[in-house]
Structure 1
Amino acid sequence: MKVSEEYKSGLQCNDDETIAEKIAKNSFKPIMFENLKKENIKLSATKLMDYSIEPSCDSNTKKVLKTRFIDSGNASITVEPLDGQPWDLSDNRIVLAFDVTNPNNVTHRLITCIHDKLGMRGYVNPIPAQSKKTMYCVIDESLREKGTDFLPSPIGFESLILGEGWGEVNKPSEILSIDLQAGMNGPVGYFIFENFRLVENPIYNIDQVYKGIVDKYGQYSAREWPGKIHTDEELKSAQLAEERLVVKWKEEQAKRDDRTIYGGYKEESLKQAATGRFYTKKIDNKWNLIDPEGYPYFAIGFDIVRKSGMDTWIDGRRYMFEELPDKNGEFKEHYATVSGVQPPYGETVGETFSFYSMNLQKKYGKDWLDKWAKMSIDRFKAWGINSLGAWAEPELFFGKGLEHNTPYTAFIWTTGGDGKHEKLHDTVPDAFDPEFINSVEKAVKEQAVKFRIDEDPYCFGVYIDNEYIWGRTLFDNPLVKSVFKYDTANEKAYAKRRVMDILKEKYQTIEHLNKSWHTNFAFFKELSEPYIGFIPEDVASLVISTLADKYYEIVEKTVRQYLPGVMYLGSRNTEWGTPREVIQAAIKYVDILSFNNYNFDVQRENFKYEEYDLPMIIGEFSFSADDCGPFSYTSMSVATQQDRARAYVNYVESALKSGKFVGVNWFQYYDEPVLGRSWDGENFGWGFVDVTDQYYPELIEASRELYNTMYATKFNQQSMFNVRNVQQQIFLNVGETAKIESVTHPLNLNQQLSYYSTNKYVATIDQFGTVTALKDGVATIITKNINDLFVLTTTNISVGKAPCLPNVCFIYPQINVQVGAKINLIQNLVPDSVLPQNLVWKSSQKTIATVADGVVIAHSPGRVNIVVSEKNGFATDSLNLVIE
């Protein structure tokens, strides 16, 4: 990116002080971690964050702050002045900067929280794997808030500007502390911090720094990549070449005799009853969608195949665009006026423009929308994409399955502007409000019934609502707190009145409630008034269960009434906003349980999908790379487009092998605008195509090959039910290596194993199981079945003079029992295992067997994995229980 000469030479302040003089006089002094007392620094960390100050890998004379974190919810380290005197960051000509290294093999999110005397603001930035970045802490919202989640760094691609966030810095002249929090992909992660200093604000002259960063086609102007469009002639030439290729590939797919017209697997030995509609059924103990002809079907689809969501703000930042077309000219339909969305700083109502739809018009002419829809369907057939996910354009696709020969899902919002029901925290509905039933019925009729999707055999399901924030944990849960803030005397306090009835039934007397809550209410009526105090977790659990159960009950009943033959796919819950009580409520009502899961595979600790015996679908997943198109990183960033392709295949195959998932939806069809979609500023390179509608070749090649192999992967997969490491403890010196020897059951499935170290500063492990000792200390190597979260074991590593870690190991990898049996698995642990009171037990399927304190009760026939872990570490082993 270009930087103005004035800016390069150093800004002069109004009082004639140079930036260097300003920095020298500031209360904040460099933090180099050489001597914390002299540097006036205090460090403190939560219990799930370990840290040490060590020499830098680059130089033995420099010091760095190394951190290791094991939980994304409460893993942070605080940097604050030792003497308690606040830092002054109020001069927006200078900003705090620091260097952060992510040595992990995957992207992790860094949350930078800046606390002042009046509040706090947190900023989120994904840090790509194995990279070092300089973070520029621009906290002046007039500069940073430009209608986009992430701004590009103006001084090279190894730098970052603070990203999207929440909260507010109210008093920048009195900064009390900086929290560095970890949001991670995996059970353990690392960041290395160094060189905290004040520097010149790189975006102070923002209208010069970001001048023309978007070209006339909506592309990022500061970078070149293969396939980037520079002229209308290039755009047209690329279109014609792709159309020829799509025709060829589509014809090849049409000639296949192993696929149905729906994209199902035409294998006669697997054929089920043909009902004329989609339904779900187990085959070989694996959940499947069955297509209308009776064949197994796995849905791979795109979200956001629609025209809305393409536009980006231009008002408030017109200088960022190289060229915009005449507002009254050929491309005038791609302009719009918006309000009530996320605008650039200082704007409330303004103009937006859609480069994507403009480029489509350049390709297809005035009837670009219909031609784009047809080309999209042709592409999907050529690429091996056999369905449409959420948010397909209703006018183009709903009720038109026979026209396109493409299965699809419908999506319905009940939380739109027309919904008159009461809303609790965020947009979670108060389902006890009688008006909620009317909202659901109105939404279903207007967004689905009118398109007659219930008569369309290609519509296999409907999502209703998306990513409700039910709260991450039960403690201090925002949804629960929002219920208790109501006064039951308020007509709108429907949920609060229901909760009060439940509490009276639960406690019987106010004395019993007071004892549990540590309160001193004289009557229940006092709690019926607005309450903001402590709420026990068991009560929070009860409240969430009650709210979720009522919500899913009403929605399910409405779907059955108005959309017969269409499966209810749930509400696309997230890991970060969904307590397990919500999932437990949903499974009573949905046909297929949906998750939005951004991860490297479908496994996710908080979901524990193995515990639920019902079909599931991924509502959203994706990977991005910044080597082409948009510049911003995502939590699932990889380095290159080829890495995106590999990650895509790995994710879909993990769903195919799970035995539970019946489909996955990639978010989304096309890249988001470089400077963010108008309604919320999100600006990620999610797409299979870019803003000029050019496809990413690596993804297309991977998708086509995956379509060829997906059903063989699903039905020929041999499941691993146990793994055992031969070595329970390995002693090494720095520089030495050792090979973990793993034995799988059944044998010779080692290609399904993954390895990771709980302390990569001490010892690393490669994909083949080779451990390398780096420094004195201890680490645990976790060996896991990549297709099953509950098949795992561990080996402890001690480097140098470090002591042994506690271990836990079963004597026998498998036990057979009868239904109704009750056995104590502590007796199956090796004698020198951890003390029983220090063990944590889990069952992979509680409907088959439950476990508590090592005692298993067998409930029904089947195969289940029991996992035991040492409560303060990673020492873990699993046992396979066969119940007959």
Structure 2
Amino acid sequence: MKITGRNADAKMVAVHASEGRQSLQVTYGPKVENTLTLTPATPWDLTGRGDVNLAFDIYNPGSVSTQFFFTLTDASGRGQRRTGVIAAGASVTFYAPLTGYEGNVITGLRENPPGWQSKDQKLFWRNGDRAANMAQIKSISFETEALTAPRTLYIDNVRVRQSPPADPFFLTEIVDRWGQAAKEEYPVKIHSDAELKKAAKMELAELAASKGAPERSRFGGWAAGPKLKATGFFRTEKVNGKWWLVDPEGYLFFSSGIANVRMANLETITGYDFGDPAVRKIDPEELTPEDSRDIVPVPAASVGTRFLSSTLRRNMFQWLPTYEEPLGEAYGYRRTLHQGAVEHGEVYSFYKANLQRRYGAGYMQTWRQVTLDRMKDWGMTSFGNWIDPMYYDNQQMPYFANGWIIGKYKTLSSGNDYWAPLPDVYDPEFKRRARLTIEQVGREVKSSPWCVGVFIDNEKSWGLTDSVAHQYGAVLDALSKSTSDSPAKAAFSRMLRGKYKSIAALNAAWKTSFGSWDEFDAGVRVAAPEAAQPDLSWLFADYADTYFRTVREEIRRVLPNQLYMGVRMAEWGMPSEVTQAAVKYSDVLSYNIYREELHPESWGFLNKLDRPTIVGEFHIGSATDTGLYNPGLVLAVDQKDRGRMYEIYMNSVLANPMMVGAHWFQYIDDNVTGRAYDGENYNVGWVTNTDIPYPEMRDAAKRFNYTLYSRRYGKTK
């Protein structure tokens, strides 16, 4: 077997062995990607043994917890990636089910509960192909990401085990009447309505006594700091080498907040559907995606056509109300889903039902004020993105408005269309939809000075940057279409015809053999795009410029005093052409950065751009003390560790002179049975599904937020 490392040094040592006399000591470097790979002389065959799981032992000698990733790759390149976290000083056996029902059942959850009882820790599914060939495994790897200091792990006893018989009821009645994990106990679990109301009463008293963070201006800025020019709205300014937001009164402002404070996307699939096709009707003029809308009630005329569509999903719940009960108003319907066990169906919001139980009559207004009071008490300076418009006129907490440009415009595929294909920005319908969307945002914001700025769209699949074909996938897709069917192809063809006076000249540059411009206009495949890279970059830059210019012009027309916050790019999709267009048109650059902290290897380029920048999303989660079966994207071992990691992340943002804020995603935990849209069942909330705050997160927020301004600015007289 061959052992190789990339930013990872490995050696066999005679310590910390769980089996035999030696273990593999692996020291990972302070890099973004650190990988140790084990490759056999011939592929491993993991089949022929019944249902199996792969297990290994890890010891962490360090002083902090460490998240790692485990990847299996078959001979054809298909992989499965999982992740786990090990506490400081801990020795743990981890395992991954490879075959059998437990390892492959599609439930609509990002991670299922364990199929059998074990003291070992099940790895959390991250991504990959569940059809990977277990008879032809060519490598396994142990990885870490975005470390800012070296970390060492000891790995031993990698083995394939026969899986014990799965509990036939491991997916049955896993959720109680409050939407909690029925078979788990954890510190913040509620056991009765009376307990829920008692917790609410105690918290309301604590919030009433709270004075919040000191030295705050009316808009949450630094009242004790220097006062700059006041414009009546938020703006940006660089002060002493650091970018800042400036609040409407002229005080320095740093946006520390929580995103996704809303009722949208909090429901879970119940397993029921309706025979009446009217419930699935979609108005093509809708401006808000389904996962960003509040609960859409099932029409009364359709309720009688209800039928069981998924026994698997229905059996997950110990209790669901009738439609006639007061708690029945938390039912709704989803016409489309991103992924899951069904394509559409009935949904239920346990969170909304718990608010009704917790606060009684007028519970939505009470929830609104409690949330505002929490933000003040926790020291938050603003909300993040995706805030329910019911908060837009709150006059207590600044916020960011948002909109999505959806519709029936033409699209392009980058080849990595995780959430959706890219819009064809040259299509007049895209421009019409952009106008309608931003006009709707304008009607909601009403030019309020409390609105810092506007985010439009999110994590678009611009393209991966690991190859020419991936980076310019959207352009190559456009070129494969005809000019009569694709406005983007027509625009690109005009640009190329203007540059190359003959098809022969283009062929010479691209090393292609197109017969004529007519053949080119009909649709062509560029099998080897490397020679065309300069032109592909030029075309893609025009595409990105058109997208950002279109959005900015509409925001300036409708909301001239609000900042354009960009599109919140994901770290996995940041082609340079898109970045340059964002720099040109955005008032603030925005990125979603799911790491333990900002890593200079990934984000050092911000210093060269020298533009105010904000983190639109990040989170950290735990599955050991929450009742949830998946921690999220960045892992902590428990809530105490989660609070520690939150402070480290925020301090890394605070120390970056380009950063003007960071927004945690999200306010409320996901459902145990997964959010309806895509099954995410993460511990990403500051409050549970019963609206109980995590004390460790609340305390960590106060430690960071109450002194953030003086630490960001530096020493003062």
Normalising by the smaller structure, the TM-score range is 0.7 to 0.9
Letter aligned with residue 110 of structure 1: F
CA contact under 8 A between 1:68 and 1:190: conserved in structure 2? Answer: yes
The one-character-per-residue Cα deviations of 1:608-662 (angstroms, maximum 9, x if unpaired) are 2222222111111222233431242334222332332232233323333322222
Task: State the alpha-carbon separation in 2 of the partners of residues 225 and 331 from structure 1.
Answer: 25
- The 3 A distance-change label for structure 1 pair 434 and 62 is farther
1:462 aligns with 2:424: no
Given the alignment, which residue of 401, 404, 425 partners 1:410?
401
Which residue does 1:440 correspond to in 2?
A: 434
Q: Percent identity?
A: 29
1:431 and 2:387 aligned: no
Aligned partner letter, 2:677? W
Aligned 1:197-208 pairs, distance under 5 A: 197-202=159-164, 205=166, 207-208=168-169
Change in 2 beyond 3 A, CA 1:273/1:484: same
The answer on 1:125 being equivalent to 2:83 is: yes
SS at match of 2:250: coil
2:372 counterpart of 1:381: no
Distance in 2 between residues matched to 1:457 and 1:518, nearest whole Å: 55
> In the alignment, what sits opposite 2:258?
302
Q: Distance in 2 between matches of 1:126 and 1:61?
A: 24
Deviation sequence 1:708-735 (CA, Å, 0-9, x none): 31111122259xxxxxxxxxxxxxxxxx
Deviation track 1:98-127 (CA, whole Å, cap 9, x = no partner) reads 44566664543425244366x724333243
CA offset at residue 137 of structure 1? 2.8
Instruction: After superposition, give the CA deviation of every residue in 1:162-211 in whole Å (9 maximum; x if it has no partner).
Output: 51423351766x43434436351226666655434443435x64542333
1:134 and 2:94 aligned: yes
Q: 1:618 aligns with which of 611, 615, 619?
A: 615
For 2:105, the aligned partner's letter is: R
Residue 136 of structure 2 is aligned to residue 175 of structure 1: yes
Given candidates 558, 575, 597, the residue that maps to 2:571 is 575
TM-score for both structures, normalised by structure 1: 0.68
Structure 1 position 358, deviation (Å): 1.4
State the 1:391 CA deviation. Answer: 0.8
Answer yes or no: is the 8 Å Cα contact 1:594–1:619 preserved in 2: yes
Q: Aligned partners of 2:20 and 2:507: how far apart in 1? A: 59
- Secondary structure of the residue aligned to 1:240 is helix
Query: 1: distance between equivalents of 2:674 and 2:635?
Result: 17
Equivalent residue for 2:180, pick from 210, 213, 219: 219
- Residue aligning to 1:362: 357
Give 1:65-214 correspondences, 5 Å limit. Answer: 75=35, 77=37, 79-80=39-40, 82-83=41-42, 87=45, 89=47, 93-99=51-57, 105=64, 107-115=66-74, 120-128=78-86, 130=88, 132-139=92-99, 143-153=104-114, 154-156=116-118, 158-161=120-123, 163-169=125-131, 174-180=135-141, 182=143, 184-186=145-147, 193-202=155-164, 205=166, 207-214=168-175
Answer whether contact 1:477 1:540 (CA < 8 A) is retained: no
Moved more, 92-101 or 626-635: 92-101
Checking the alignment, whether the CA contact within 8 Å between 2:614 and 2:659 is kept in structure 1 is: yes
User: Does the CA contact (< 8 Å) of 2:16 and 2:154 recur in 1?
Assistant: no
Alpha-carbon deviations, 1:835-870, whole Å to 9, x = none?
xxxxxxxxxxxxxxxxxxxxxxxxxxxxxxxxxxxx
Three-state SS of the structure 2 residue aligned to 1:683 is coil
Provide closer, same or farther for how the CA distance between residues 191 and 467 of structure 1 changes in structure 2, counting only shifts above 3 A. Answer: farther
Partner of 1:284: 240
Q: Which residue of 2 aligns with 1:802?
A: none
- Choose 153-162 or 542-551, whichever is displaced more: 153-162
Q: Indicate if the aligned counterparts of 1:107 and 1:635 stay in contact, CA closer than 8 A.
A: no
Q: Which ranges of structure 1 fall in alignment gaps of 5 or more residues?
A: 1-41, 719-884
Cα offset for 1:240? Answer: 0.4
1:231 positional shift: 1.3
Residues 551-606 of structure 1, C-alpha deviations (whole Å, 9 max, x = no match) = 11111111111111111000001222212332222011011111111233334423
User: Aligned with 1:281: secondary structure?
Assistant: strand
**Counterpart check, 1:472 vs 2:464:** yes
* Equivalent residues of 2:503, 2:517 under 8 A apart: yes
- 3-state secondary structure, aligned to 1:663: strand
Q: CA contact under 8 A between 2:399 and 2:451: conserved in structure 1?
A: yes
- Change beyond 3 A, Cα 1:709–1:351: same
- Structure 1: how far apart are the matches of 2:119 and 2:608? 43
Q: In the alignment, is residue 397 of structure 1 matched against residue 358 of structure 2?
A: no
CA distance in 2, matches of 1:543, 1:100: 49
8 Å contact 1:108–1:127 — kept in the other structure? yes
Q: Say whether 1:566 aligns with 2:557.
A: no
Q: Which runs of 5+ in 2 are unaligned?
A: 272-311
Match for residue 587 of structure 1 among 583, 601, 621: 583
Tell me, what secondary structure is at the counterpart of 2:435? helix
Deviations 1:671-719 (A, max 9, x none): 111222111111111111111111112222232343331111122259x
Match of 1:334 in 2: 330
Going by fraction, where is strand more abundant, 1 or 2? 1
* TM-score normalised per structure 2: 0.83
660-669 or 47-56, larger mean C-alpha shift: 47-56
- Specify the code of the residue in structure 2 equivalent to 1:186: L
Q: Distance in 1 between matches of 2:132 and 2:653?
A: 46
Q: CA deviation at 1:349?
A: 3.4
Q: Contact 1:151/1:163 (CA < 8 Å) preserved in 2?
A: no
Secondary structure, aligned partner of 2:488: helix
State the Cα deviation string for residues 734-776 of structure 1 (Å, max 9, x = none): xxxxxxxxxxxxxxxxxxxxxxxxxxxxxxxxxxxxxxxxxxx
Question: In structure 2, what is the equivalent of residue 643 of structure 1?
Answer: 641
Distance 1:334 1:494 in 2: 43
Decide whether aligned partners of structure 1 residues 100 and 524 sit closer, same or farther in structure 2, where only a CA change above 3 A counts: farther
Please list the CA deviations of residues 27-47 of structure 1 after superposition, one character each: whole Å capped at 9, or x if unmatched: xxxxxxxxxxxxxxx547576
Q: Quote how far apart the aligned CAs of 1:464 are.
A: 0.6
| Contact kept? 2:79, 2:132, Cα under 8 Å | no
User: 1:388: Cα distance to partner?
Assistant: 1.4
Question: Which whole-Å deviations, capped at 9, do the CAs of 1:1-56 have from their partners, x for residues lacking one?
Answer: xxxxxxxxxxxxxxxxxxxxxxxxxxxxxxxxxxxxxxxxx547576666555556
Deviates more, 1:605-614 or 1:673-682: 605-614
Deviations 1:431-479 (A, max 9, x none): 2222221121121123x1221x142110110001111122231515436
State the 1:62 CA deviation: 4.7
**Higher RCO (CA 8 Å, separation ≥ 6 residues):** 2
Whole-angstrom CA distance in 2 between matches of 1:560 and 1:653: 33
Task: Kindly state the Cα deviation for residue 94 of structure 1 after the two structures are TM-superposed.
Answer: 3.5
Alpha-carbon distance, 1:304 to partner: 0.9
Say which SS state the counterpart of residue 605 (structure 1) adopts. helix
Work out the CA distance in 1 between the residues paired with 2:75 and 2:66.
29
Equivalent residues, number = 658
Give the 3 Å change call, closer, same or farther, for CA 211–441 of structure 1 in structure 2. same
Contact kept in structure 2, 1:147 and 1:675, CA below 8 Å: yes
Q: Offset at 1:73?
A: 6.1
Q: Deviation at 1:389?
A: 1.0
Report how far residue 392 of structure 1 moved: 0.6
- 1:546 corresponds to which of 542, 546, 555: 542
Q: Which residue pairs with 1:665 in the alignment?
A: 663
1:133–1:565 Cα change, 3 Å: farther
